[in-house]
Structure 1
Amino acid sequence: MNDTYIDNDTEYSSYGVGLSFYEDKTVGEGSTTVKILLTGFLGIFMVFSLIGNICTCAVIARDKNMRTPTNCYLLNLAITDLMIALFVPIEIYLIWEPDFYPLDEEGCRLHFLLWDLLSNCSVLTILAFTIERYLVISKPFLRQTLVLNSRVFKIVSVNWAVACLFAIPNAFYVYLVERKQNVYCFFTVPDTEKTYLVCMELLVFYVLPMTVIFVLYVLIAMKLRSTKSTSRQNPVHGKQKRNKAVKLLVAVAASFFICWSPYSALRLMIVLPGLSYDHYFNLWRVVIYLSSINIYMSTAVNPILYSLMSHKFRNAFRDLLKRGPSRSQATASHTRRSEC
């Protein structure tokens, strides 16, 4: 947490990831009701996330017509969400056994490394497809270049590389500490570096992306409105399809903003000198609960948004669960037979 942890006569400020923030002994004395509720929520989110994101990956992989540039970004987002959901069992364990981290030192370091990598990659993916959608709408003459899947794969690769670039240095601040019968895994940063690291992550992976996303969606809305007013006589099918795609991406970006805001607030609280853990215990605990629940909720909500807002995704999910060929594949097959 934001209070000090003393080891070998050196003072550090420490904080964890998700429910791994629970490194103080007072957590073990927490309400059983709260623990049961947290366990229930996290378990439900994990199940929905696993089912939804596996189905998302499956429908895009099995149907070539679903492999659009936008869906390639959504596929990458589904992969990161799926991997984040796999942390839930560890978090549930730490709810009930906060004083004994179950993995060794390498597992502790890998826990934090993967967490940073996946969360960073998620926000960069959302930022990338927002920029992509803005360019498609505002620069129609670039459409042929922008719709290439190979270009999307290169951008996704760059996103993973940048996410790694920021995540790997943080792994050197992760420690596994044994105190008598207790074992703690936590991220500790010297006070001289704490403000720089936390503020840099907040700026690069939250403030700046969310600002760019908000501005671009405002510009997209203005562009669509002006297009609607100047071309009423044109066919509307393509425009309606484009509007639905924009609405889907807006919903995904909005859910990410809402779900990750508590965690970003938690990181900001770490560098605020007036918000010590000892004096604002209840505030810290509420923000920790919200950040933990919201982060895992975000991994489950995206597939639900795809199903609610995209008729094509909804049909693909339905066909997958029925274990039959997708409708687009069946239509293509029927067309080929008719031509024969």
Structure 2
Amino acid sequence: MEFFQSVEKTDSLIVVYVVLMMIIFVTGTAGNVVTCVVIYSDRSMHTATNYYLFNLAVSDLIALFTIFLDVCYYSDLLSISSDSVGNIICKLECYTVGVLWNNGVLILTVLAIERYFAIKHPLAVKRGGARRRVAYVMAGVWSAALLETLPDLFVVRLMRTRSGPVCFVPVSRYNQLASAAAAVCGFLLPLAIMVYVYVVIALTVNARDRSSCEDNVFDRRNSKKKVNKHIMALTLSFLACWLPYCGFRMVYALGEPRLLVALAQHWQAWFMAVSLGAWVSSVLNPLLFSLASSKFRKALKKLWHTKFMRRTNTRMERVPAWSPVDTHR
């Protein structure tokens, strides 16, 4: 994950990075918590698509809490005294974050495939049990994410520099091949699948006045123009969030050792951009997949009025009314 770091840290850059990470943490946590609460509380939201969205939100929530590890590192709050302990911390941190990131990308890919079958083969989707199918698919997704990130446990090491301990991956032919494979599996292949699936969905929706299947991601009442814009937003958001990560991997995989050393002074800023892009996806996912659905917004509004507002009114009714006579007693 963290291949290189700049030897010198820029204080202003670190301050901006930490502030942005805290904003991402607050907004991402709020959006994903709302997604989980609405899907869990409203039985009408218990569909295959929303089960995937629930798993994606949970994965994003877990990933968001690892932000504090980066903040502690860049703020010099995390001190590592022993190299052996430092190696273990580096390996576990990079592996955990990598698994969560890869899991999120895989769930986005599965969501696209789920929508593809819902549009092209709606009867086949309705026949099978949604919960069982989602359970099997999610087990496969988590297993794939664990295996895909496994090389990080063997290649990530602790290196001490003048600015402090750094988690990095030594330059070797094996590590470069592993990085290239991670870029292909973690970005290029999912991107190809999503582009194909979304193009097919757009063509199918544009060819029909109305979709015959119930869709929680692309609301069938939306116009063709809105559906096309939604698909474009999904594709562009995936590109914007994960292209820096893929580029980081590919430069490391294809670069010569001398070139990588020469570019070392820019690695800190680049890695911060990679991290911000990956974390921003945790903010965009609930916006593009949950709040973009009119059915989800209705369920959220219903939950707000039936649960939160009712409890608030009940508490207010229990409070005795204020009377000016009481003040004179």
With the shorter chain as reference, the TM-score category is 0.7 to 0.9
Secondary structure at the counterpart of residue 259 of structure 2 = coil
Distance 1:106 1:280, change over 3 A: closer
Distance in 2 of aligned mates of 1:280 and 1:169: 24
Find out whether 1:91 has 2:70 as its counterpart: yes
**Unaligned 5+ residue runs, structure 2?**
213-218, 310-329
For the 8 Å contact 2:53–2:289, the answer to whether it is kept is no
Pairing of 1:192-207 with structure 2 (within 5 A): 192-207=173-188
Give 1:53 deviation, angstroms: 1.0
8 Å CA contact retained: 1:99, 1:184: no
Q: Offset of 1:177 from its aligned partner?
A: 4.6
The within-5 A match list for 1:165-314 is 165-177=147-159, 182-188=164-170, 191-228=172-209, 239-240=220-221, 251-273=233-255, 276-280=259-263, 284-306=267-289, 308-314=291-297
- Distance in 1 of aligned mates of 2:26 and 2:97: 19
- How high is the sequence identity, in percent, across the aligned residues? 26
Picking from 21, 28, 35, the partner of 1:42 is: 21
Which segments of 5 or more consecutive residues in structure 1 lack a partner in the other structure?
A: 1-14, 232-237, 327-340
Q: Structure 1 residues 222 and 111 mapped into 2: Cα distance closer, same or farther (>3 Å)?
A: same
> 1:74 aligns to what?
53
Aligned residues: 300
The structure-2 alpha-carbon separation of the partners of 1:273 and 1:179, relative to structure 1 and needing over 3 Å to count, comes to closer
Counterpart AA for 2:60: D
Name the CA shift for 1:246/1:117 in 2 (closer, same or farther; >3 Å): farther
> What is the match of residue 62 of structure 1?
41
Task: Tell me: CA distance 1:73–1:300, structure 2 relative to 1, closer, same or farther (3 Å).
Answer: same
Please tell me the residue identity of whatever aligns with 2:259.
S
The runs of 4+ residues in structure 1 deviating greater than 6 Å are 241-247
**Which range moved further: 305-314 or 41-50?**
305-314
How far off is 1:230 after superposition?
12
Whole-angstrom distance in 1 between the partners of 2:45 and 2:232: 19
Paired position in structure 1 for 2:316? none
Relative to structure 1, the CA distance from residue 222 to residue 306 in structure 2 (aligned partners, 3 Å threshold; closer, same or farther) is: closer
Identify the residue that residue 119 of structure 2 maps to in structure 1.
137
How far has the Cα of 1:283 moved from its partner?
Answer: 5.1
Counterparts of 1:175 and 1:229, CA distance in 2: 55
Q: CA–CA distance in 1 between the matches of 2:232 and 2:284?
A: 13
Check if 1:52 corresponds to 2:34.
Answer: no
**Is residue 49–residue 111 contact of structure 2 (8 Å, CA) maintained in 1?**
yes
Distance 1:99 1:184, change over 3 A: farther
Question: Offset of 1:318 from its aligned partner?
Answer: 4.2
Change (3 A) 1:78 1:254: farther
Instruction: Provide closer, same or farther for how the CA distance between residues 280 and 178 of structure 1 changes in structure 2, counting only shifts above 3 A.
Output: closer
Q: Which residue of 2 aligns with 1:119?
A: 101
TM-score by length of 1: 0.76
TM-score by length of 2: 0.78
CA distance in structure 1 between the aligned counterparts of 2:211 and 2:45, rounded to whole angstroms: 31
C-alpha offsets along residues 141-182 of structure 1, whole Å, 9 cap, x if unaligned? 313235622111211111111111122232122223567994
Contact kept, 8 Å, 1:319 with 1:325, in 2: the verdict is no
> What is the alpha-carbon distance in structure 2 between the residues aligned to residue 255 and residue 168 of structure 1?
27
1:169–1:306: structure 2 CA closer, same or farther, 3 Å change rule?
A: closer
Cα separation, partners in 2 of 1:180 and 1:48, compared to 1, 3 Å: closer
Give the Cα–Cα distance (whole angstroms) in 2 for the partners of residues 323 and 292 of structure 1: 39
Structure 1 CA distance for aligned equivalents of residues 177 and 163 of structure 2: 34
Q: Secondary structure at the match of 2:262?
A: coil
- SS state at 2:116 partner: helix
Matched position secondary structure for 1:240: coil
Mapped partners of 1:71, 1:239: distance in 2? 16
Cα RMSD for the two superposed structures: 3.5
1:306-325 matches, cutoff 5 A: 306=289, 308-320=291-303, 324=307
Q: Check conservation: 1:57, 1:78, Cα contact below 8 A.
A: yes
Deviations 1:281-320 (Å, cap 9, x if unpaired)?
Answer: 5654543232122111111122233464122222334455
3-state DSSP of counterpart to 2:168: strand
- CA distance in structure 1 between the aligned counterparts of 2:269 and 2:162, rounded to whole angstroms: 29
- Superposition pairs of residues 1-16 of structure 1, within 5 angstroms: 16=2
Partner of 2:7: 25
